[in-house]
């Protein structure tokens, strides 16, 4: 899935394979292997650089690669209760609808910073 989305995004942006490889600091052969699913997706750092260069949302490539945004990993690493909550969610098999309900409940309860302050 990652390779297909990467290739489509590159082609839609009008950037050639060699040009993208050069911009993100990898070989054209490696990029070709990524696009043709001959190798596993790269590191999160490289995925973020690719998304930025291609002008696409980083979450699209990270999701396709089944990787976690480094900002999220860092947050969880520094917030032990967040990790505990995620473990509990996993144990209880939270589904997509559950996450949406939690997001809405957090907003209703006024948890965290108001959205205007986050930006």
The pLDDT-based confidence of 113 (bands split at 50, 70, 90) is: confident
Q: How many distinct structural domains can be found in the chain?
A: 2
Alpha helices, DSSP H, located in 1-119: 2-13, 17-24, 28-35, 44-54, 58-65, 70-78, 80-91, 96-109, 115-118
Say yes or no: 63 and 8 in one domain. yes
Q: Residue 49: give its domain's CATH number.
A: 1.10.260.40
The two structure tokens encoding residue 117: 């302050």
Q: Tokens 């006024």 belong to which residue? A: 110
10: nearest Cα among 62, 2, 41: 2
Residue 72 placed within a domain: no
Say yes or no: 6 and 61 in one domain. yes
Where in the sequence is the domain holding 109, given as residue range(s)?
79-118
Say yes or no: 96 and 39 in one domain. no
pLDDT tens digits for range 42-101: 999 999 999 999 999 999 999 999 999 999 999 999 999 999 999 999 999 999 899 999
Handedness of CA 94, 100, 105, 111 (dihedral sign): positive
6: nearest Cα among 51, 52, 45: 51
Say yes or no: 12 and 61 in one domain. yes
Say yes or no: 6 and 62 in one domain. yes
**pLDDT above 70 (res 118):** no
């Amino acid at each position: 899935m990652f390779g297909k989305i990467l290739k489509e995004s590159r082609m839609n942006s009008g950037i050639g394979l060699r040009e993208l490889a050069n911009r993100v600091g990898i070989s054209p052969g490696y990029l070709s292997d990524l696009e043709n699913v001959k190798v596993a997706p790269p590191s999160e750092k490289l995925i973020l650089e690719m998304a930025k260069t291609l002008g696409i949302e980083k979450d699209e490539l990270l999701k396709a690669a089944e990787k976690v945004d480094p900002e999220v990993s860092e947050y969880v690493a520094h917030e032990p209760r967040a990790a505990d909550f995620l473990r509990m969610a996993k144990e209880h098999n939270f589904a997509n609808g559950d996450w949406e309900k939690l997001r809405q409940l957090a907003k209703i309860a006024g948890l965290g910073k108001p959205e205007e302050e986050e930006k």
